[in-house]
Structure 1
Amino acid sequence: MTGRPGPPTLRRVSFASADGGERRTRTIRGTLTPDGPEMVYEPFEVPPGVREITVSYVYDRPPVPAGTPGNSLNIGLFDPRGTAPGGDGFRGWSGGARREFSVRADDATPGYLPGPLRPGTWHVALGAYGVAPQGMSYEITVVLGFGAPGEVREPVYPPERARGRGRAWYRGDLHMHSWHSDGRRTPAAIGAQARASGLDFINTSEHNTISGHAHWADVAGDDLLVLLGEEITTRNGHCLAVGVDPGTFVDWRYRARDGAFPRFAERIRRAGGLVVPAHPHAECRGCGWRFGYGEADAVEVWNGPYTPDDETALAAWDAMLVTAAAQGRRWLPAVSGSDAHRPPDRVGHPQTVVLADDLTRTAVLAGIRAGRCCVTESAKVELEFGVRDATGRTAGIGERLEAGPDAPVIARLAVTGAPRCTVRFVTDEGLAFASPPLPVSGRGVVEWRTTPARAVYVRAEVRHETAVGPVPGVMAGFTNPVWLGRW
């Protein structure tokens, strides 16, 4: 998808002015070829007096040889403010999740933004996710309903604070989808699942839309902090905007080679959020992360049920820790997200557990940014990890114990909720220690001795006996590192 100026457009469709109550329908047809543009903007004119715009579309799906991408066409809408990169005219995106949507001043289909229906040139945005060798023919139906406009409503957003426990460990899910993108659950249903999973906070992350931001206030409460965000779904990987200001839209119409990502990453940070590449080694088309990590604040290492691509992400993240240590530069914390879309996906599997000064947006994001977090498969698994030296000084997850090169230090992990799991300590030199299986009670304390000369950092993993493919035991939980020595 391109973020370059002058996006391609096709025919312009005009609607004559009409009196109240009238409906006008126009049909737009077109064909895309495999070597054509990935984004096409179909213009149509909206005269004064329009109360509602309804758009529906269909496209053909001819058979293709095995291994050849077939037709897949996504859809969205831009108003007269334009289709230029940055999204001033953005009015919604449903990808391939819906075949019809409507917008009015007072309401809109999930995925789309209500607001004034300004007269002028609007555009139906088509994203060609895949085009068969035979090409793709499509048909768009635009219906304008005339009448008195509804009242534009002031959006109500969730509060930035919930009732916390002061400085404590808080459990959250940073990645999920409701019916505002391609999920099948309402925000209320997600909130119920979050509470049932023992979560303290969640982050909304719809694909390329922020329509849900104004629909979470009733879900939040004293017991659940709702952070607002987006999943920016480009052709070269997906990125979570975590905890941004309400109404912050981040464009997705660019590739790594365009050099545009730093601009949009900065937009996330200016809005108070974190830049978190999602499932960086996932094998789905367009999911693998290709923008590098220079703009990232953290990285989603565990996405949904633990699979080999999560193991690959874990190994790649560990290699980044080694590089950061060797170069004496900033390191990226690891986080997780359920990426839950529909049953049987489980909200809160896995969970990012953050040491924060309170249950507020600012405190939770600060804890993640500092790496004061670990990841567990559920609220049943609890990890308490740290190191201490002979003088009694200690350091916890994400912190540094400044000890001399040969000073003996002890890494200690206390575990609950992990029956028959193995504890592993990993350093910059790889796997350093693996314990016998924990008892069936799932409780245990494991210690290991080292020095800063032998380990620049230590992190802990807890793994089940069962494996998936080449994975050496499905993950039950892991920590961010504790750093040793002086830089």
Structure 2
Amino acid sequence: MNESSRYSYRFLALLALWLAILGVACATDSEPDVVLHGSLQGSDNHTYREVPFQVPSGVNRITVQFESTGRAEHTTIDLGLEDPDGFHGPQGLRGWTGGSKRLFTVGVLDATPSFSPGPIQPGRWALLLGIPNIRPTSKADFTAKIWFGHPGDPAWLPAVLNPPLRSGPGWYRGDLHMHGAHSDGSCQTQSGDARVPCPLVFTVEDAAKRGLDFIALSDHNTVSQANDIRELQPYFDRLLLIPAREVTTFQGHANLFGSTEPLDFRLGSKTVPDWNALLKQAALLHGVFSINHPNRPNDETCMGCGWTPELPVDMRGFQAIEAVNGMDASSPKYTGIPFWQDQLNKGFHLTGIGGSDNHNAKLPLPMAGGSMAIGLPTTVVHASELSMKAILDAIRAGHVFIDAQGSRDRSMDFVASVDDRSAEMGDTLAAPAGSAVHVTMHATAVDRGSVEIIVDGQPFHPSTDMSIHGATQAFAFDWPSDGKQHWMRANVRAADGALLLVGNPVYLNH
């Protein structure tokens, strides 16, 4: 390492330490924290070399991207990682890729396959280079870029590990609630003789077969599935796997999406006396927090399932509500839609989402065994790309509708405009008193259905015929504004009245 590289390294290490001491979590990671350079020559053949670097305190993840020259001359560099305990310590060698991986991560809870998760001690770490082949007259240069993660970082950082699976804006379809072996999801054994915790791979395979674009793996009060996700995501390059957890308390359940950081869920304890204390914790983790199945019972049949907080809750701590859980969209007793709309009427901009709550990935039927099939319902998100950050940002923004029966092709859009200003689902639109709010909408693959318009929880009947008479139907109508705060959204129903699509609101004058 030359002198300028050493100076650059020391400066970056000190900067990272300073940020960690101040508790500053970087919002982006466009630049690595450490960059190491080196070179190899013929005399390095069949040897091992340590390339040390310092890890400051307050780090809980190390991500390495390694690049080298000389492949045209068959130079081969194997790669491993040592922690401060040294090669013969309790953990010591944290992993060895051979030459199979040039990008890997090691975190407290999860790691790239061939590496071991665990505590990230401050001190001297080292890349371990093995050189099985370099010709006597050859030379190879290498560069190692290293990113440090910190407590509170969202799960989509570092970005180098989480590139979008698909570029460009679109409507992406997913399921935001499911359980596997890491909590109470179960399925029959290979022989069929017993029911056992169901391996996560079956959940992911089933979601892929159903044509979903993303799923959130939301086991109860744990994120241990994050390590399995590290193994599965590279293969499933058309299905985004979002780490999540169902925060399961005695006063209600809620899904936290996009974080693998610790969260104390012990509601009613000294450390978490009420929901507001829990919400303050969650806000530091940069994820999306959603109340689950709020109208379920909270008794021996489903302990803690219903939303029954003992003390008032600041609903601004949530970003979404599971308005549809499984097939409850048309169930007056269990549907979460009335609860969601009550919160909208109180002025909270909470996105309505859906989740299957699947507990058996091997189910062939939608309701076999009392569990919903994966993708039933589907949450459809208008996002800038298929990436974890983009999907969660779009859910926060309310750019969402729910396909209540989990089809692959039913869709809707809903846009309100005043003069040259417009707003899609989830957006806010200024509509002065006396102005006409012009609404346009399209519905696809719901032939013989009909559209219903809801304003502030009550039906609004436009003069336009809202019946659907083909594969795709366009609608337009005007709504007279009184200049006050309102919200407006749409549902699509089948000919028999079954709820098919649930739209999120446009907010007027909020």
Shared fold, TM over 0.5: yes
Query: CA–CA distance in 2 between the matches of 1:437 and 1:294?
Result: 37
SS in 2 for 1:347: coil
> Is 1:301–2:316 an aligned residue pair?
no
SS in 2 for 1:217: helix
SS in 2 for 1:249: coil
Query: CA–CA distance in 1 between the matches of 2:480 and 2:269?
Result: 41
Contact between 2:452 and 2:466, CA under 8 Å: does it hold in 1? no
Query: CA–CA distance in 1 between the matches of 2:426 and 2:392?
Result: 14
Return closer, same or farther for 1:224/1:395 CA change in 2, 3 Å cut-off: same
Q: How many percent of aligned residue pairs carry the same amino acid?
A: 28
CA RMSD of aligned residues (A): 2.8
Query: CA–CA distance in 1 between the matches of 2:420 and 2:353?
Result: 29
Q: Deviations over 1:14-42 (max 9, x none)?
A: xxxxxxxxxxxxxxxxxxxxxxxxxxxxx
Query: Normalised by the size of structure 1, how large is the TM-score?
Result: 0.61
Contact between 1:383 and 1:413, CA under 8 Å: does it hold in 2? yes
Return closer, same or farther for 1:442/1:218 CA change in 2, 3 Å cut-off: farther
Q: Which residue of 2 aligns with 1:229?
A: 244
TM superposition shift of 1:278:
0.4
Correspondence list, 1:335-350, <5 A: 335-342=353-360, 343=363, 344=365, 345-350=372-377
Unaligned runs of 5+ in 2: 1-89, 92-113, 119-154, 187-197, 366-371
Q: Which amino acid aligns with 2:454?
A: V
Q: Which amino acid aligns with 2:289?
A: V
Query: CA–CA distance in 1 between the matches of 2:210 and 2:332?
Result: 24
Q: Which residue of 2 aligns with 1:214?
A: 227
2:350 to 332, 348, 357: 332
Q: Which moved more, 1:420-429 or 1:234-243?
A: 420-429
Q: Which residue of 1 aligns with 2:503?
A: 479
Query: Normalised by the size of structure 2, how large is the TM-score?
Result: 0.58
Correspondence list, 1:77-476, <5 A: 153-154=116-117, 159-184=161-186, 185-220=198-233, 221-244=236-259, 246=260, 248-255=261-268, 259-283=273-297, 284-291=302-309, 292=313, 293-306=315-328, 307-308=330-331, 312-324=335-347, 330-342=348-360, 343=363, 344=365, 345-377=372-404, 378=406, 379-389=408-418, 391-428=419-456, 430-433=458-461, 437-439=467-469, 441-453=470-482, 456-466=486-496, 473-476=497-500
TM superposition shift of 1:310:
7.4
Q: Which amino acid aligns with 1:197?
A: R
Q: Deviations over 1:73-95 (max 9, x none)?
A: xxxxxxxxxxxxxxxxxxxxxxx
Q: Which amino acid aligns with 1:300?
A: E
Contact between 1:162 and 1:224, CA under 8 Å: does it hold in 2? no
Q: Which residue of 2 aligns with 1:60?
A: none
Q: Which residue of 2 aligns with 1:142?
A: none
Q: Number of paired residues?
A: 322
Q: Deviations over 1:107-150 (max 9, x none)?
A: xxxxxxxxx99xxxxxxxxxxxxxxxxxxxxxxxxxxxxxxxxx
Query: CA–CA distance in 2 between the matches of 1:309 and 1:288?
Result: 15
Q: Which amino acid aligns with 1:398?
A: G
Bigger Rg, structure 1 or 2: 2
TM superposition shift of 1:462:
0.8
Q: Which residue of 1 aligns with 2:137?
A: none
TM superposition shift of 1:319:
2.2
Q: Deviations over 1:140-194 (max 9, x none)?
A: xxxxxxxxxxx99237x99533322322222221110112211124322211222
Return closer, same or farther for 1:161/1:194 CA change in 2, 3 Å cut-off: farther
Q: Which residue of 2 aligns with 1:141?
A: none
Contact between 1:355 and 1:367, CA under 8 Å: does it hold in 2? yes
Return closer, same or farther for 1:280/1:160 CA change in 2, 3 Å cut-off: farther
Return closer, same or farther for 1:182/1:198 CA change in 2, 3 Å cut-off: same
TM superposition shift of 1:305:
1.1
Q: Deviations over 1:423-467 (max 9, x none)?
A: 10000161102855423x44322333212228822101012234x
Contact between 1:282 and 1:288, CA under 8 Å: does it hold in 2? yes
SS in 2 for 1:178: coil
Query: CA–CA distance in 2 between the matches of 1:331 and 1:213?
Result: 30
Contact between 1:416 and 1:444, CA under 8 Å: does it hold in 2? yes
Return closer, same or farther for 1:196/1:417 CA change in 2, 3 Å cut-off: farther
SS in 2 for 1:204: strand
Unaligned runs of 5+ in 1: 1-115, 118-150, 325-329, 467-472
Contact between 1:203 and 1:228, CA under 8 Å: does it hold in 2? yes
Query: CA–CA distance in 1 between the matches of 2:225 and 2:217?
Result: 8
Query: CA–CA distance in 2 between the matches of 1:312 and 1:222?
Result: 34
